[in-house]
Amino acid sequence: MNSSAPSEPSLSLSTLPQGAAEEGAKECLSKDTEIARYLPHLSRMSSRLKQTSTQIESSVVGVCDSFQASVVTLKPAIRGHFKTGQRDWPET
């Protein structure tokens, strides 16, 4: 079976508008220069992000430990409170 679908036009430098290739090359060089400018900072940024994530993790673990301590402290008091049938918290 022979299909008569239109073919994609081929793109070559001769079909580009005059000056487009040079402009594209300048743009690529500009982007390469910009990337090169930021590249040395990526290592430092990576280590700072790792440091920040470690600090966040430590803080979250600390908060969870605090809640765990509260549960361990309050659980017996709450169990005793409900066993006695009291509806209000005892005055301290």
| 45, 74, 76 from 83: Cα distances, Å | 56, 14, 11
Is 90 within a domain?
Answer: no
The boundaries of the domain holding residue 31 are 19-83
Residue 76 lies in a domain: yes
CB 75 within 8 A of CB 66: no
Q: Is the pLDDT of residue 54 over 90?
A: yes
Domains of the chain: total = 1
10/21 Cα distance (integer angstroms) = 16
Give the model's pLDDT for residue 52.
97
Q: What is the pLDDT of residue 87?
A: 61
> Which residues make Cβ contacts (< 8 Å) with residue 9, sequence separation at least 6?
15
Average pLDDT over residues 19-41: 81
In a domain, 7, yes or no: no
Vertex 26 angle, CA 32 and 20, to 5°: 135
Q: What is the pTM of this model?
A: 0.45
**Is 44 a member of any domain?**
yes
Q: Identify whether 12 is part of a domain.
A: no
